[in-house]
Structure 1
Amino acid sequence: MTDSIRTLALACRDAAATVAALDAARKAAVLVAMAEAIEHDADAILSANALDMAAARQKALSSAMLDRLALDPARVRAMADALRHVAGLPDPVGSVTRRETRPNGLTIERVRVPLGVVAMIYEARPNVTADAAGLCLKAGNGVILRGGSEALHSNRAIAAALGRALEISGISPHAITLVEDTRREVMVELLQLTDIVDLAIPRGGEGLIRFVAEHARVPVIKHYKGVCHLFVDKDADLALALALLVDGKTTRPAVCNALETLLVHRACAGQFLPAAVQALRARGVELRLCERGIAIAGDHTLATDDDYAAEFLDLVLAVKVVDGIDQAIHHIRRFGSDHTEVIATRDAQRADHFVRSLRSAVVMVNASSRFSDGGELGLGAEIGISTTRLHAYGPMGAESLTIERFVVRGNGQVRHAPT
């Protein structure tokens, strides 16, 4: 088993060296070919996904998991569209982020280069197979894809299409390597390959991410849970705030950028909460409120600290009435997951205070949390949303899959004169 996963990883590393040498035009052409392959194989991909969905329903997986697992023609088209978008983005590889000339005449450049081999470990969401493959290729990397058993048929079909596009383009299909053995012991062995794998990125439930972080010997960027908050300030446009709440909570509650907690300034709670409760109830949302919120909005479940720390990934929302912006910030610092926070306010100074006081990966002013997404933020696609403060934080696109190195150009300078 060790030889098998090591052999796969070595083949990916060899292919990654070839990908790293491709110029921008060639990579763009390969990405377009990958998009065309996805579209060509759409029926096969959907048929494979139907097998996964049937098995998932038989296993009584959660509604959130089913939503992340499901593909339809629109989602397949979105995978292809994302690959084309990534193809059209500026190539991060070789870009010079800083250049200066030292007093001794040396020119110092900081240049972006590929990471090498990225191990992507994820659950459900078969679109990650295409997104991760496209972004890694754009950044000059090889990628080892280890999806969950619940999406194995879907991942196989997508990886087969992508691999065929690589072969047609004259590139080793090992640059995009799917690990079909989904046993956890195989994943652990992959995470031990410090001489081959340069970075591991887990994306999925809290249990998976903790498991990867605890067992990896390679560097890990965690894409942890999204306990996202909306704070409605005392002078907020309440119609705007209600729109942010409904969009953030109800449009797709099973994703990590969905709202999980609503914080409302006490000065506007009497007016805002009844309207919010009515709108959310009409959309099937279960509410868990603090005592002050219940007094305003009527009989509801009393929220606990566990509710405020929860990523429900469902039509459930925790609600708290706060005395002011600083109490809202304190609450977010205590219960948040450094993912995405939103403030609805008309006051620019208070908005700036909110932004400066929180260290979350994405902070929004008068905009829906659902925009916390690589595609919506101009990255074309995302490999995930990093909540780990390493070289990348927040939605990760192709540039986040590169690192900076120093390139020094001189004309014979030596540090010490000959003696």
Structure 2
Amino acid sequence: MTLIRQLSTAAADFTTEFERLRHWSAETDAAIEVRVAEILADVQQRGDAAVLEYTARFDRVQAADMAALEITQAELQAALAAIPAVQRDALQAAAKRVRAYHELQLEASGRSWSYRDEDGTLLGQKVTPLDRVGIYVPGGKAAYPSSVLMNAIPAHVAGVQDIIMVVPTPDGVRNPLVLAAAAVAGVHRVFTIGGAQAVAALAYGTATIPRVDKITGPGNAYVASAKKHVFGQVGIDMIAGPSEILVIADGTTPPDWVAMDLFSQAEHDELAQSILLSPDATFLDAVRASMERLLPELPRADIVRASLKGRGALIHTRSMEEACEISNSIAPEHLEISAAEPARWEPLLRHAGAIFMGAYTSESLGDYCAGPNHVLPTASTARFSSPLGVYDFQKRSSLIEVSEQGAQVLGGIASVLAHGEGLQAHARAAELRLK
């Protein structure tokens, strides 16, 4: 059975096959949309009571009140102290790097500024943090302490004073590594709730859970749908699709390395996408052989196999330049330049959530500890979106202080334009300040 399709840009049917490969619909199942809308409305109306009911139904956690679903700071610190030292050290090392990166990001793009022009008018921008944010951390079969770090740390660096984390705990099982990550990242309050009901509680507020200004973090189809529904009541980071990796290789990287990098995203779920572009046909064959040999070793081999068969591809290109052009048309979430001279090709690449340069830069390092954020735009939205960052937890207000002299110049301009738009009160407001 073919593990992964192989395409060539020289083939007559490449464009058709390539478009079929790229296709993924962000449309949510209609039944999910209806159910999510019902849950959101119920939580908005009944608050804590509805959250308790849905938590009992979906997560099988019976709680007398919301206090039983909140994890205290003492419990978070206890979890941090109780995990093995090697895990604690890894969490703290990753958090240190993530924090350092976002602190530099704050210096580069997150400060207020202003200037005065020649007539004394002050113009500028005031940057202030959001007051309160909610971060959603998936629970269930998998634990994602890295998601805690990547969502909470930039919010903390931005100056957010109240970070509320929600995480489902099916059957009451609380993952100690996730709780330890919350302690390391500086999360202020943690509630063991999930699903659309958790998004609703954060968006609308309940007697126990305060309403937030923005919700970030990944989740299942119900969570994604709920975030879409509450946008406008609160801000959201993005509606994330399946994970993606695209590797551009010149044939100089060991095939086993590239094969495992492709597996690293395919193991997320059956809809994840892994694509390799290379002008070296012999290298593509070598990577295919590595994939066939290494796949049986993986615990999640069935998921990887389904992902590669459904949405994966090895694509033979005419050149590295053409590979870069194809990458730009895809705008992948994760883009590896697995080449001897990655800096030669990086200037040709315009659209990607994150660019990993060089054979030693596996995408998985970015997921956990390199420093830049791993919450990235998917489904070609890197054409117009950016990774989660400090700027997502800030807002900008324009500063305008017009001097008396400046009002004489600006007033005349505004008057002409306002009359042209038929807005006489606008014009008069400016004209009254003219000498």
Give the counterpart of 1:240 among 248, 253, 258: 253
1:249 corresponds to: 262
- CA distance, structure 2, for counterparts of residue 108 and residue 272 of structure 1: 56
Distance apart, 1:393 and its partner CA: 0.7
Q: Quick one: distance in 2 between partners of 1:250 and 1:393? A: 24
1:384 paired residue number: 375
1:174-213 aligned within 5 A: 176-182=188-194, 184-192=196-204, 196-205=211-220, 208-213=223-228
Shift of the alpha carbon at 1:4? 4.3
SS at match of 2:349: helix
SS in 1 for 2:292: helix
Within the alignment, does 1:361 sit opposite 2:353 as a pair? yes
CA distance in 2, matches of 1:244, 1:164: 32
Deviation larger for 149-158 or 110-119 = 149-158
For residues 338-417 of structure 1, the aligned pairs below 5 Å read 338-345=332-339, 351-352=345-346, 354-356=348-350, 359-367=351-359, 368-370=361-363, 373=366, 376-379=369-372, 382=373, 384-387=375-378, 393-394=386-387, 396-408=388-400, 415-416=407-408, 417=433
Q: CA deviation at 1:406?
A: 3.0
Q: Deviations over 1:7-60 (max 9, x none)?
A: x9xxxxxxxxxxxxxxxxxxxxxxxxx9x996753365x5xxxxxxxxxxxxxx
Q: TM-score, normalised by structure 2?
A: 0.56
C-alpha root-mean-square deviation of aligned residues, in Å?
4.8
Give the alignment of 1:35-184 within 5 angstroms. 41-42=79-80, 44=82, 46=83, 73-85=85-97, 89=103, 92=106, 96=111, 98-124=113-139, 125-127=143-145, 128-141=147-160, 142-150=162-170, 153-154=173-174, 176-182=188-194, 184=196
- Verify: 1:321 aligned to 2:336, yes or no: no
Q: Structure 1 residues 123 and 252, CA, compared in 2 at 3 Å: closer, same or farther?
A: same
Cα distance in 2, alignment partners of residues 285 and 350 from structure 1: 36
- Corresponding pairs, count: 321
Which residue is equivalent to 2:244? Answer: 227
- Counterparts of 1:275-286 in structure 2 under 5 Å? 275-284=286-295
Q: For structure 2, list consecutive stretches of 5 or more residues without a partner in the other structure.
A: 1-42, 52-72, 298-304, 409-432
Task: Say which SS state the counterpart of residue 237 (structure 2) adopts.
Answer: coil
How high is the sequence identity, in percent, across the aligned residues? 13
Task: Please report the TM-score for the alignment, with normalisation by the length of structure 1.
Answer: 0.58
* SS of equivalent to 1:123: coil
Contact 2:133/2:213 (<8 A) preserved = yes
1:339: Cα distance to partner? 0.5
Deviation at 1:248, TM superposition (A): 1.7
Asked whether the equivalents of residues 246 and 274 of structure 2 are also in contact (C-alpha less than 8 Å), the reply is: yes
Kindly tell me: are residues 413 and 186 of structure 1, through their superposed partners in 2, closer, same or farther at Cα, counting changes over 3 Å?
farther
Structure-2 change in CA distance of 1:349 and 1:248 (3 Å):
closer
Tell me, yes or no, if structure 1 residue 261 matches structure 2 residue 275.
Answer: yes
Work out whether residues 99 and 109 of structure 1, in 8 Å CA contact, stay in contact via their aligned partners in 2: yes
Larger radius of gyration: 2
Distance 1:366 1:97, change over 3 A: farther
**Does the 8 Å contact 1:205/1:225 carry over to 2?**
no
Query: 1:343, 1:365 within 8 Å by CA — same for their partners in 2?
Result: yes
Measured against aligned partners, the alpha-carbon deviations of 1:355-384 in whole angstroms (never above 9, x if no partner) come to 03xx222234435451673765544xx472
**Whole-angstrom CA distance in 1 between matches of 2:367 and 2:324:** 25
Q: Contact 1:227–1:309 at 8 Å: present in 2 too?
A: no
